[in-house]
Chain A
């Protein structure tokens, strides 16, 4: 087990020596049980950092935000930024590096291994207590003790662990400047793509019926997009913010500004949104499962993204987030690509 004090000491040290300008990590949340992302800038704040199974957020997103802030405020970074990163966070950082979003020397990665654990899936807890939210959860290494309006419960870690963690084979952040916890790379509580395989056991009609029900429920809050570290586009297909209107812009140009997807949250538009996003993530999604976690209406988005991940794996041998030097799926060409679909 990781001693959280080690993480705090490292952060304090780096900040005190000026080796990083801030450390992105987790602190105890104000609302009750879950941790929340935070940015520590002073050495004396380092003791607020926490590490537990409610640290589910992929903090690589905060790196993207930091970069956007720098660009927006036209500032240059005085020192690298530190980040506490789980295995999946580190895989996301690797993809960002592959895509040259920032440079390796811009980040200082304090890796934390999930070892034989992973993050809690609040939904699985809720499912055990009629949909009521837990108000507190303590983890002893094997079991969770949770408090809910329906009484207290002790739940086995594996039973309430997020699917992505059950399927995870890289619980150790290979890309790091320093790391804590044992390297359990290759551990597998559930086969990779197991959730997808379970779903694909249904026939086509049942699958389409399922997706219609899911898409109909989407409220298009775009949390799935906004929480994704790989969805860093300034101009996303869903909000056209780059259209500038000048005196000479005609009414037609304004009326016909590109709207790939209408604002209405109806099946056709919702489905288009989700298909588009899935395609934009092919070979890039690192399966951190954040989109699925944040969806307020429980749409199982991992089923779409892991499907694309498996395609990229099977057709081109791609493993997103595995190595910085490796090629990226959409920006590379190989003479020996199977290309069976090109005739």
Chain B
């Protein structure tokens, strides 16, 4: 990392003020109505939080995106009006390493094979200021076993590490360097003692025990071999087919496109993209009425296989980053770690 500095904790709010006056909207974790969410930050931000309920993916991939507006007056040609995303510059503080790695995966989907101008416009205006997890903030964390690390800076512009009285700020991108340079005088030089402490905190973080996918490297092959396993229906038995596991996931990216009418005479409306997900009953519904994934088992298989097999086949990396949200938030305890382990066990 190129730029590594110390920041006195008492100066965090000054830095946020400097970033704000540099034209950025600063967002950070806030506890509101009993849940942690990313909210616009007015003064300072509380960085003593478990992982935020919803992954920060909506900064680049909002749940609702308007593509264009249309109007059709009888007897005239239909009129289309492109709607460009309003994408203010957002600096998101307090992104956990699993969600930084989530952003890397979202980038693959919307920038590697396809060019999604809506996503890209928002993404280039988004900066992630991460916070290393000195200890797993949730009992369901399993980032280590899927190739991540609680101190990873992948996908981040800056990674902060809490050393008690100070943060160490490590810039990982040019944007990150610029965010720090904007308030250069607030930061101190990272001395040898700081460096030593940082290394110790990081080493301890990496050593902290977590739940684990037993053989993540072998998962793509195991899931392929276990495609027809009876385990899927068995594990999916209590599943209610809701949108929790997918909507909260940092890497789920499926969407639907609909025309939403705002008036009938003259006919007008908007073409809108909204999040969709493979657990809903109509996700793979064909126009004929046939549904190839009619049962909950086939839908669970789709979700888990996408995370641990198909994405790997397409992009050479697991899609799941081990944030544990789908595990902790599932209303009936369906546990992706247990599912992958069990399918692997059955084909072994």
Contacts and interface: CB of A to CB of B under 8 A. Distances in A.
Interface range on chain A: under 10, 10 to 19, 20 to 34, or 35 or more? Answer: 35 or more
Interface in B35-72: 35-36, 48-50, 53-54, 63-64
Contact of B288 (A34, A72, A219, A245): A245
Interface residues of B, number: 55
A263 B256 contact: yes
Contacts of A220: 243
B112 to A, nearest CB: 26
Interface stretch (A10-18, A24-32, A182-190, A302-310): A24-32
A142 B87 CA distance: 53
A330 interface: no
A339 B327 CA distance: 49
Contact of A149 (B64, B136, B247, B328): B136
Interface of B: 31, 33-36, 48-50, 53-54, 63-64, 135-140, 211, 237-238, 240-244, 247-248, 256, 258-260, 272, 274, 276, 280-282, 285, 287-289, 291, 294-295, 327-329, 331-335, 337-338
A227 B334 CA distance: 14
Interface stretch (A36-44, A109-117, A271-279): A36-44
A103 interface: no
A262 B258 contact: yes
A39 B237 contact: yes
Interface stretch (A81-89, A122-130, A161-169): A122-130
Nearest to B65: A264
A264 B272 contact: yes
A201 interface: no
A289 B338 CA distance: 28
Given A31-B328, A262-B272, 10 more contacts: A31-B338, A219-B63, A227-B242, A227-B331, A239-B282, A243-B289, A263-B272, A264-B274, A265-B63, A294-B331
Contacts of A91: none
Interface of A: 29-39, 57, 61-62, 65, 72, 123, 126-127, 130-135, 149, 213-214, 217, 219-223, 226-227, 239-245, 254-255, 259, 262-266, 290, 293-294, 296-298
A32 B244 contact: no
A219 B332 contact: no
Contacts of B285: 241
B244 A131 contact: no
Given A30-B333, A31-B327, A245-B288, A221 B242 contact: yes
A241 B281 contact: yes
Given A38-B237, A131-B50, A133-B140, A219 B64 contact: no
Contacts of A263: 256, 258, 260, 272, 274, 276
Instruction: Name the prevailing secondary structure of the A interface residues.
Output: loop
Nearest to B329: A296
Given A223-B242, A226-B240, A264-B64, A240 B282 contact: yes
B260 A262 contact: yes
A244 B289 contact: yes
A266 B64 contact: yes
Contact of A123 (B34, B137, B238): B34
A149 B137 contact: yes
Contact of A294 (B31, B138, B244, B247): B244
Contact of A223 (B244, B256, B281): B244
A38 B238 contact: yes
Contacts, number: 153
A241 B33 contact: no
Nearest to A33: B139
A133 B330 CA distance: 14
12 contacts: A30-B333, A30-B335, A31-B139, A31-B333, A37-B237, A57-B238, A127-B34, A131-B34, A132-B50, A149-B139, A242-B289, A296-B247
A34 B48 CA distance: 25
Contacts of B337: 30-31
Contacts of B135: 149
A257 B180 CA distance: 53
Contact of B274 (A61, A222, A265): A265
Contacts of B287: 244-245, 254
A61 to B, nearest CB: 7
A130 B34 contact: no
B244 A296 contact: yes
Contact of A219 (B54, B256, B334): B54
A231 B247 CA distance: 21
A83 to B, nearest CB: 13
Contacts of A239: 280-282
Contacts of A290: 331
Contacts of B282: 239-241
